Amino acid sequence: MKAQCVSLQLMAAILFLCSVHARGLRRCLVSIDIRHIEESFQEIKKTIQAKDTFQNVTILATSETLHGIKPLDVCCVTKNLLAFYVDKVFKDHQELNPQILRKLSSIANSFLYMHRALQQCQMQKQCHCREEATNITRTILDNYSELEVRSAAIKSLGELDVFLTWIDKNHQGTSAA
């Protein structure tokens, strides 16, 4: 009887800790209309992807790279990839078409907003970066640096739908800020 009582207490403690941890992660997720970002990208996707001369190369690596990320690493990888797009891709891309530039600026601003919110969570120790998350980010950065800067920026922008789909899947139904 005592063993059964102890195991029930242990189970309750584990469930409590898991719920506290899950709530902590939810506080890091940002409330943003991902559909609006996806729509903005869909309007320029064909034009961007038509400029891509390296059809057999990927920056975001294989789909397993993003889809194999453990839930514990989602916050960190999201924050790192948002920084990658804001600090590298959008800055390295040179666009002359004002309509495309406007859409890209809107997407970049949304990414910057999300990145800052996740950075705040990391400073509050609610968004942990484990070695696995850092390795995934490093792989993507290495893929980017293997191409010439302009080509890498075009390639990364052309793969934006992959990243947006991944964000939507991993952050759906949650919000905070």
Q: Which are the contacts of 54, defined by CB distance < 8 A and separation ≥ 6?
A: 147, 151, 155
> Using CA atoms, how far apart are residues 1 and 164, in angstroms rounded to an integer?
52
Q: Please name which of 126, 103, 113, 116 lies closest in space to residue 32, comparing C-alpha atoms.
A: 113
> What pLDDT is stored for residue 19 in this prediction?
37
Give pLDDT tens digits for 31-74: 678 889 999 999 999 999 999 998 888 898 665 678 788 888 98
> Using CA atoms, how far apart are residues 80 and 76, in angstroms rounded to an integer?
6
> What pLDDT is stored for residue 125 in this prediction?
78
Radius of gyration in angstroms for the set of CA atoms belonging to the chain, rounded to a whole number: 19
> What pLDDT is stored for residue 171 in this prediction?
74
pLDDT in tens, the chain (177 residues): 555 544 444 444 344 334 333 333 344 656 678 889 999 999 999 999 999 998 888 898 665 678 788 888 989 999 999 999 999 999 999 999 999 999 999 999 999 999 998 888 888 877 888 998 999 999 999 999 999 999 999 999 999 999 998 888 887 644 433
> Using CA atoms, how far apart are residues 78 and 133, in angstroms rounded to an integer?
9
Query: How far is CA 69 from each of CA 11, 137, 167, rounded to the nearest angstrom?
Result: 27, 11, 12
pTM above 0.95, yes or no: no
